[in-house]
Each structure stands twice: as C-alpha cells, then as structure tokens.
Structure 1
Amino acid sequence: MAFISVDSVYLKPALDEFTKLLAALVGPHGHSCLIRSPVDSVTLTSSSSRLISNIPVGSPLLQFALQCIRSQIERFGDGGLYCGILLSKLMIRLIDSCIPRHSSCSILSELQNIVLSQLRNSEQLLLSINLDSVAPLMAVAQSVLLSKRGNYEGTDPVHLAHINTQISLLVQAFLESEASIEKVVLCIRKKVDKQCLLNGVLYPCADEEHVVLKGMSWNSASLLLFSVMLTDKIDCKEKELPGVDYLQQGKAQFEAAEIFIEKAISCGINIVACQKVVHPTLILKMKRKGILVLQRLGKRMAEAVEILSGAVPVSNLHISQLDSLPQLKGSLKKVQHFSDNGGNFVFMEGAPGSGICTVLLGSHLLESCSELEIVAHQVLTALKQVIQDTAVCPGGGCTEMHLCITLWKEVHRRREDLCFKLQCSASQLYTVVKWFQEGLLLASGLHSEAGSLAFDSVYYHAWRGSHSKTMIVEATTCHCGLISSDAVVRLNGSWSIFTLEHINYVCTDLNDTAQKITFGPSIAGSVPVHDVCSSKVGAITVAVESAIAITDIGAIITS
C-alpha cells in the first residue's frame, strides 16, 4: 500500500514533469514521446492516450491521475490527455497556493459550474448540426483524424487523398451500422491495394490459415464460436481448483478442448472461431478434417462474428455443455478467400440486415498499425456522441478561449455576490479564475506566452499572434478555421493579445455577448476543426472534481 500527502515535497516536481509530458503531445506542435523505465518503454502520441496506463510512474497521485484519464477514455473514447493536463495543472496550483485549500476548492467548484453551463447552453459557442446531411459527420471525422499528430503530418496531396478516403469510409461504416459502432470491425494493414468498406467480417490470416478454402468460397457455412482458450493453459477467467496442480489443470483443459473439437467435427462444423488462442495440435487436427480455424479474433471481432452468424459463444469447456453444442452454432451466408497487397484474408458474409461491416484501411505513414486503429475507433466514438448531442463546438482551442473570456466576464459581473457566497476576497477569486483559464488553454494545446496568442472581440476565438508591432494577428482564420479575419472586420471587430496577467484590461470593453456562429461550409484554404461537446464536458468534470477531491482529502492511498 502506498500513501502520499499533497504536502509532500516530491509531489509538485512530479506533477510538473507529468503535465509537461502530456502537454507535449497535443496542440499544433505536438509530438510523440518515448518514456523509458528500467524494465520497459512506451511511446505516447496525441492519439494513443488509452495506452497511458503503461506509463511506469510510482507516485500514487500520478496513478490516480492515470485512473482519471482512463475513465475519460472508457466513457468517451477520447479526451484523456485533455483531462490529464487540466487535472495535473489544477493540482499544481491547488497544492502550491497560499489560499486556504477549502476556499480554493469552493471557488473552483463554482467556476466549474459557470464553465460547464456555457459549454452546454451557450448559443454563441455551440454549433447546431443538421443530421439530414453527412457534412457534419464528415467534418467531425476529419477533425479527429487530422488532429492526431501520429496520424497526420504535412499537406502532401497524395497523403491528404489517403486521409480523405479514410474519413469517407469511416462515416459510411458508421451509417451502415446504424450508429452501433460495435458492429464496425477495423482492419488496419501497413499496405493495402485499396482502402474499402465490406459488408461482413474481414479476418486477417496468419500461418496460411486460408489454405483450407483452397481458393474457393463456401456457401451456407456453419460456425462454432469460442470465447475461451482452446489450449493447455488455464484461462484467466477459470478458477483454479484447490489442491490440484497447475499443470494437471492445464492438461485437463486441453483434454476438454479435444473433446469439444471432436464433437464439432462430428457435427459437421465448417469453421471454428476463437476469441483467444487455439493449441497448434488442435489446429492441425481440424485442418486435416477440412475445418477452417480462425483464432485470436479479439473481443471486438468476436462480438461482430457473433452478431453476423448468430452463434452463441462457448464460454467454458464443461462437459455439461457438450450435448448443446449443435444449438450453439451459427451460420454464414458466404465465406471466401480475400487477397490484397496487405496480405491474405478470410471474408465472412452473413444474412442481410446484420449491420456488420469491416473497414479496411492502410496506415500509410505509420510505423505501427495500432496507432491508426485507435484513431479510427476514436472517430467512430466521436460520431456516436455527435448524433446524441446534435451539436459540436469549435476546436483548435477556440472553445477554450471563448470559455476563458466568458468566465472572466461572468465573474467580473457577479464579483460581489460570488465573494459573499464563497467567503473569499476578490483577489482569491480572480487567482483561481486564472488557474482555470491556464489549465483550459494548456489542455487544448495553446500557450499564453506574450504575443503568441490573440483573440477577436466579435466571436472570442483564438488566433495566432504575429509578434509584430504593426499587426496583432498574422493568420487569415482563427485556430478552428471557422472564422475569417474578413468576417471580424465586417462586424467592426478587433483583435487583442491574450495574456492571463492583463486579461482584465482587454476584456473590460468587450460586448456582453459574442456573435453567434453557425455550422457551414469551410473557408477556402482552411481545414475546420470541430470538437465533441459531451466529451469536453466529461473531461472538464472529471479533472475538476478529481482535483477538488484529492485536495479536500489531503492525501491519496493506493494498493
């Protein structure tokens, strides 16, 4: 059991390094990071935040931060790094401040309510979308794919065409599955002749598994699906028998698997599919009988095969299940060998209307296909959230800039009431506002160093500063690409350099509300970036509430 107090001298330096690490992965200058430990290493990029559980850190508080990141990823599929950066930055400020902790936590909780209210309800911030068109879905898919530094680098026309094909196929697959993303199988290869969408399950072969088909196709094939290992190893879900040697249990497991396979052969099963591993001896035995063996499907593909075929997974090798084996089998309309530059595949087609489809994608620039698989799954998850929200918000840090300004204006307007309610001074209130603003901008990949960041007085969007005495901004569009400089000028708007220290001077003269924007075609020469509202709400909620909880407790204990 490990224990660490928030007053520990080791905590702030560890949090500082952790925040810098995560912040280096996001934003326009984000890059990959390799973390090494005495026993292993792990590569992190902006799209591999779910792999963050492998970071070798021993601090209980950092382990808690990783747990918060994982909960965000499990719920929304993305936003883990955003959550981690905001949480870590707030923790640094909370534990290093002279403001009484109960006061700073109360203020932070109140500010969270203001920010989330804006994010959920602001007509000036949210972009309503029309689901009668695929344009919003294409825009969201594009935003996710192009925002991941490991997946997109440069503007090479061939690569952009490759990415655009991926965007189109993922949206098609999402619609084909009727928004049931568990019905979409992702097949990622280093090289493919043609990226495509197939109605069925595409299984990548290994060790000449496809030779059983002999280049032919099968019609009306029967299939038996196992979710348990067919080996002499004990499945982690199987309970060890007290007093029985481990090797003896493994032997019994293998013998049971043999009995089940013999039964499958006698029942005339054409295909044995296994979510996990099949023993080589059993594979050879089934091949000799002309049975096609598909192993290591993984959870997602196994679930897709289950839906496609109607098979009931065999979850244990108890002899009592043997007689019911024929009732557990499923059937496939067609099974055939599929060959591509990316390798050999077995393609399984079920009855019409299953909604199961496979997206075959090529990794193009990636050294590892796992990166693209994560990004593609994040696209599908984002699309599902968008049709639930029926709205998106500006990406590229423009939402965070809008929130920073509206937060300051709302606090400034209600300053006396808030100070009375929270029993704090105006100085304490504005200090915590600054913490929140700093965390939001950093989480979105923006830095507020002097001259590097600006905002407009019309929409409150983020712009790249010019570092010039003659002009404030040098870009023709804001960070999200939805607002042009001409649009700001037409509405008699102006730009101001954004700094946390001088925000009170530049925000005082702004209009009470920002101009509303609508979802529409992109500005020529820009690639618009959209964010998923509910994912951002979730990340902010987890980060703020976790930071407050740890500070209130004063310590964290992990086993």
Structure 2
Amino acid sequence: MCQKMSGVIPSPKQQSTVINQSLKDPKNTQAVSTFRALVQSCYGPTGRLKMIHNASGGHVTSTSMSQTLFRSMSVSNPVVKLIVSAVQSHTNQFSDGGLFASLLCSCLIESCLALPIPQQAVAKINEEMLHICLEYLQNENCLCKARLNVGDATMMLALVRSVLGSKPALMLNSVDLNILSRLVLQGFLKSIPDTTVGTLSLTDVEYVCIEGCSINDSHLVDGVLFETPKITKQYLGRVKPRKVHFHGGTETIKVALFNTSLSGDSDEFIDTAYEADAGVSGDAFVFQHLIQVAAHLVQLQVGVLACQKVVHPGVQKYLAENGVLTVDRLGSLHVVAVQRLTGATAIGTLHAAINEDNIGHLHSISTVQIQHKNYLHLQSSTSPVNTLLLCNRNEAALLEMKDVCRTAHHVLCQALRTPLVLCGGGCTETHLAAHLRAQVTMQEETLLAKLGCSKAQLHTTANNFARCLEQVAMALEHDGGCHVSDPVNHHHWLLPPWASTTVPAETGVETCACGMVKTDKIDSVSCSPIGHLSDQSQPSSGSKGHGKHCDDKSNCSASLTDYMDQATQKLVESGPNVVLDSFPVKLNAFVVAVETANMILTVNRTIFDKN
C-alpha cells in the first residue's frame, strides 16, 4: 500500500557478476583507440575543437584543452581511466602538456599490444628506451635543448606564443596572438617581487573576462579588479574610506580581511536550541557581538572591510557611517588576491583579538565601469599583484582564453625555476627518435645482455617506441601535409600536401617546424619521410654522403652546436616563427606517458564487479 502511494518500487539487489577481461579484449583496445583518436584530433595549433554538451541540456563547452576536456568527460573503461587520471595529475602540477602525455601514452599502448612480443618484455624494453631518452635530454650536450635567457624578452615571448598559439579555441590571428602574448609576459614580469624576500605566486595575476569587446581592448592594470554591482562611484563617494598616515607621511587605507561569515550564521555560533530569559534574543546577542567587532575595527582606523562571505546589512550600515567600506562575497579566489595585494592576515574567527599585525594596507581604491558593469579597483604600491582584463566577443573563446593565459603564466613560473626549453613543433620528438635508433644500434650488445631479450625483440620494440614519438610529431598537423626529417639535424619539416619533392627548399619551406633550423643549414638535401614502418633502426646508408646521422656524434655536434649556442640571436632573426616547449613540463609529461603505458602493459586482466 505504501509502495503504491509513494510510486517508488525498490528493486532487489541483484547477484554480483565479476567480469574477467583481458587487456587485449576488443573492448579495451577499441576504447584506447577511440581515446587516442580523440586527443590526436585536438593536438596542435590546427587541432579540431570538441563541443561537449550534457544529454539533459545545459551549457555547451567548446575546447581542445586536455584539462577542460577530461574534466567534462565521463570515462567508464578502466584502462582509459588510468590514462586520464595520470594525465590529470600531471596537469594539476604543470598545467600544460596534457594532450602530449595522453597521445604518447595511448600510442604506446595501442602499438605495443599489436607487437608479437610478450607484454612484460615490451614494458621492460620501453623502460630502457625511456632511460636512454632521459639521459640524453638531461645531458648538457643535448642538441634539441637550449638554455632560456629569462632576461631576453624575445625568448620569453616565443615561449608564451608557443603556449597560446597551440590552442585553436582562442581563434587568434597573428596580431591578436602578439597582443595577448605581450600582455601575459608583461603581467608575469610585474608579478615578480622586487626583492629576494618576496615569493612568486600563481595568484599574483588575476583574470577578469569582458565579453563583447575586441581582443585589442585587453589590457593589464595594477592591483586587483573585481565586479561589485552594489558599489558604485556615488556610493564610494558617500562612504569615503578613511586614510591614515603611514611610514614617512604617506597615506594608506587600512584593510581588515575575513574569511568567515559576518552575517551571524558563522559556524562559531552553534546551531542548536537555547534557553533564555524573557526579552533576551539570541539573534540580537549575535548581532551585538558583530557590532562590537566592527567597533573595534573602527577604533583601529580600518578603511576597508573585505570578507570572503556575507556581511550582515546592519554591520555594513554601521561601518559605512564610520567611514569604512564593506566589500563582501569575495569568494575563495579573490580573497587570496586581496590578501597578497594588501598583506593582511585572513581572520577566521570572531572571538580572537584583532591587532595591527592582522591589518593590511592599500594605496588607493576606486570604481571602474566596463560594459555597463561596476568594478572595484584596489591598488597597492608595494605589491606585485596585477589584473589582466581579457576581452573577446565570443563567450566560449573567452573562457578558454582565461585558462590558457593562466597556463602560460604557470609555464613562465616553471621557466624561472628551470630556465631550459626544448625545440617545439615536433622537432624534439623526431630528433629523439633518431637519437634512440642510433643509440640502440651502438649499444646493442650491452642492451641485449641487460634486458635478456632477442635482437629482433629489441629492435622491433625500440623502433616502435621511436615511431610513436614521430606519430606525436605528425599529429600536430591535420590538413594532409607531408612530414619529413632532415638527415643533418633530424628536425621535423612540414611540407605542403602538393609537394612532389622531399627537399624543403624546393617547396618554399624556409624553416623546420620549430623555426630554429633554416634550409641553408641542410644544404638542400633530400629529407626522409617519418612515421612509417621502415628499417630505421639500422644506421642510414645515406649518412656517409651529404647528410650526417646522429650516430656520428662528432659530425652531428659540429653541425648543430653553432646554432644552439647562438639560440638567442636566431630567435631574434626568426621572430614569431620560433616554437619552444617548456623543458620541465615536457620532460614530466614524457615520463608520465611512458610509465603509465608500461604500467598498463603489465596488466594481464581487468576485473570489476558489475551489480
């Protein structure tokens, strides 16, 4: 009877079913293949966007960024879940390189499962290939790596352009890309503390999105800017936050910052039943305590009360009458920026003593109206915090732009810690592939003794590893171009689809994909197609002619040392064509991709309970 009235008929618990599935099961291999195709289509500056929409309706997300893509996707296959989880851990730490890690990992898994070699042996050989690559990348004589001169604006700008230019959802032309890159770099440089005592923080650059304006209207402002609908220019003129003299006669505005509610519903006031005498109100008691806190702030000559949550209207009125501006509902993001800007200590309780050590300082406070919205502008003469106003006519591109600019800022922060860059445009991948094949040939006997595998297994797996690197390089282009590698530097050259020759100079191509090797450096030699099954695990027969293979280390070093030693000058000459990858970001993404693939390859079966 009750069940009929409620309309709910509980279903009995079914008996659990344990599914034992091989890693080579078609469901797993198809899931990995689909995932690889998905991330491959998003990869690079000409990658295809993905529109993500819930079946029940709601907001439509257009993106090619791995963070947004994986956050919006629902993955059920356990193998793909492992890949996504590993990549998300990488992007949480480094912000960039998610698609590279995902693509390389899925390529390795998909290709290694097709090899006629036991999975355990493949994983063991892959681990040794990773070690060879890491040893080379971390060597001072690595020829696809350059030291980043953080004092050279050209190199820093090239790094920012490489990050922003790889995100097609921004829909930037060359002029817009230059404008946005300069703003990101300028914001980063301003966020660096003037003294060695200060610390660099990702929150030192705030981002405000303005929809309906051109990208040309984007600009950088000192301090913090955030939307405050209730605080207009007229209201600010009536309140007039008090200023006090501070250190040598300069005027400052004192700021008290709270990260707890000042509306009377704080967790400090227990939500329970009270017994009180007639005429005594619990709400009145709480309000009286809030007024006492406000009165103490007035006594300390505070000019601005900033609160992460809500401030009681009665408290706001009392403070306004005493020359104190109330800024509430800051949220967790803005409250950190205000704390960094003012130097105030976030107060998390209403019952502790508030003294001068908890108070921060502002140089000025004003209101700004943008697109018919009111914004409060807080400035400090001693803080590196600044705000980047991002403008775009497209909402989806604007949201993507905010995430990408934050990623670029994070990459620049990594560059201060590790001032190294790698050749972009897939040149590092093709160069590594050539180096790997040469090293396997040179160290064949040592590797066979160490790995305990056959010669055929070693060369097959090593060549497969190298081809996966080349496939990642090829994935940067989606319009049918020809991919070749020169025999001198082993850089990636992208030729037009109609090219009938493999000589870059004859097709009008002036530089390699990273822009750091020009056609005059390879003597108009014929290049070799990449990414195809071939006997590339053996030394090239053409290495004794006009080209030089990487196993001839003296010749290879002699041909490349000059341009790598003069990287800064070449960047100045090449200008916007130079593509750079952050060394720490790509190195970690490379390690995560290979180690995750190896872990999955050692899995024999997936077992899960289906109820």
Q: TM-score range by the shorter chain?
A: 0.7 to 0.9
- TM-score norm. by structure 2 comes to 0.77
1:359 to 2:388 alignment? yes
Go from structure 1 to structure 2 and tell me whether the alpha carbon gap of 1:544 and 1:200 turns closer, same or farther (over 3 Å shift): same
Select the residue among 14, 18, 22 that pairs with 2:39: 22
Deviation at 1:233, TM superposition (A): 8.2
Give the gaps of 5 or more residues in structure 2: 1-15, 244-251, 274-281
Which amino acid letter does the alignment assign opposite residue 213 of structure 1?
A: L
2:50 to 19, 22, 33: 33
Cα shift at 1:108: 0.6
Structure 1 vs Structure 2 CA RMSD? 3.8
- Are 1:123 and 2:142 an aligned pair? yes
- The 1:498/1:62 distance shift into structure 2, 3 A limit, reads closer
* Matching of residues 416-427 of structure 1 within 5 Å: 416-427=445-456
The equivalent residue for 2:222 is 199
Q: Distance in 2 between matches of 1:451 and 1:141?
A: 26
Is 1:224 the counterpart of 2:256 in the alignment?
yes
Instruction: Give the letter for the 1:334 counterpart.
Output: S
TM superposition outliers: structure 1 runs of 4+ over 6 Å: 1-4, 231-234, 238-241, 253-257, 447-451, 556-559
Query: Quick one: distance in 1 between partners of 2:439 and 2:360?
Result: 60
Structure number with larger C-alpha Rg: 2
Partner SS state of residue 78, structure 1: coil
* Alignment check: 8 A CA contact 2:390 2:398 kept: no
Whether the 8 Å CA contact 1:37–1:56 is kept in 2: the answer is no
Corresponding position: 1:12 with 2:62? no
Post-superposition CA distance 1:458-480 (Å, at most 9, x none): 22110113453344433221111
Query: Structure 2 matches for 1:1-400, cutoff 5 A?
Result: 6-39=23-56, 43=61, 45-47=63-65, 49-50=67-68, 52-121=70-139, 122-155=141-174, 157=175, 159-160=176-177, 162-175=179-192, 179-190=200-211, 191=213, 194-208=217-231, 212-214=235-237, 218=241, 219=243, 220-228=252-260, 261-266=290-295, 267-268=297-298, 269-275=302-308, 277-278=309-310, 292-315=325-348, 317=349, 320-321=351-352, 323-324=353-354, 328-341=358-371, 343-350=373-380, 352-363=381-392, 367-400=396-429
Report the counterpart of residue 463 of structure 1 in structure 2.
493
Is the 8 Å Cα contact of residues 223 and 386 (structure 2) preserved in structure 1?
A: yes
CA contact (8 A) 1:224 1:328 kept: yes
Segment of structure 1 superposing worse, 386-395 or 98-107: 386-395
Q: Are residues 229 and 5 of structure 1, via their aligned partners in 2, closer, same or farther at CA, if it must alter by over 3 Å?
A: farther
Q: Against the structure 1 CA distance between its residues 260 and 533, is the aligned structure 2 distance closer, same or farther, given a 3 Å change threshold?
A: farther
**Relative to structure 2, which stretch is displaced further, 396-405 or 126-135?**
126-135
Structure 2 counterpart of 1:200, one-letter code: G
- Assess, with a 3 A threshold, how the Cα gap between structure 1 residues 42 and 361 changes in structure 2: closer, same or farther: closer
Deviation at 1:543, TM superposition (A): 1.4
- Residue identity (%): 23
Q: Distance in 2 between matches of 1:297 and 1:109?
A: 48
> Could you say if the C-alpha distance between residues 320 and 240 of structure 1 is closer, same or farther in structure 2, counting changes exceeding 3 Å?
closer
Q: Secondary structure of the equivalent of 1:367? A: helix
Q: Could you tell me how far apart the structure 1 residues matched to 2:608 and 2:292 are?
A: 48
> Structure 2 CA distance, aligned partners of 1:150 and 1:79?
16
For residue 536 of structure 1, the aligned residue among 586, 596, 601 is 586
Once the two structures are superposed, what CA deviation does each residue of 1:189-234 show, in whole Å capped at 9, x if it has no partner? 2337843333321223335566531389744333332334567989
Kindly state the Cα deviation for residue 387 of structure 1 after the two structures are TM-superposed. 2.4
Q: Distance in 1 between matches of 2:117 and 2:44?
A: 31
| In 1, Cα distance between equivalents of 2:403 and 2:389 | 14
Q: CA 1:556/1:254 → structure 2, altered by over 3 Å: closer, same or farther? A: farther
Q: Retained in 2: the 8 A contact 1:170–1:379?
A: no
Q: How far has the Cα of 1:162 moved from its partner?
A: 3.3
Q: Deviations over 1:473-506 (max 9, x none)?
A: 33221111122112222xx754222233125278
Counterpart of 1:305 in structure 2: which amino acid? V
1:248 equivalent in structure 2: none
**CA 1:447–1:344 in 2, change beyond 3 Å: closer, same or farther?**
closer
**What is the CA–CA distance in structure 2 between the aligned matches of 1:454 and 1:85, rounded to whole Å?**
20
Asked whether the equivalents of residues 151 and 366 of structure 1 are also in contact (C-alpha less than 8 Å), the reply is no
CA contact (8 A) 1:458 1:488 kept: yes
Stretch moving more, 279-288 or 341-350: 279-288
Amino acid corresponding to residue 497 of structure 1 in structure 2: P
2:257 counterpart letter in structure 1: L
Q: 1:397-434 CA deviation, whole Å, 9 max, x = no partner?
A: 11111111111111122223212321222332233224
- 1: CA distance between counterparts of 2:65 and 2:286? 39
- For 1:282 and 1:81, the matched residues in 2 are separated by 52
The TM-score normalised by the length of structure 1 is: 0.84
Change (3 A) 1:188 1:258: farther
CA distance in structure 1 between the aligned counterparts of 2:233 and 2:209, rounded to whole angstroms: 18
Equivalent pair of 1:224/1:271 in contact (CA under 8 Å): yes
**Shift in CA distance, 28/142, structure 1 to aligned 2, threshold 3 Å:** closer
Using a 3 Å threshold, how does the CA distance of structure 1 residues 397 and 44 change in structure 2: closer, same or farther?
Answer: farther
Query: Where do 5+ consecutive residues of structure 1 fail to align?
Result: 246-252
Distance 1:210 1:15 in 2: 57
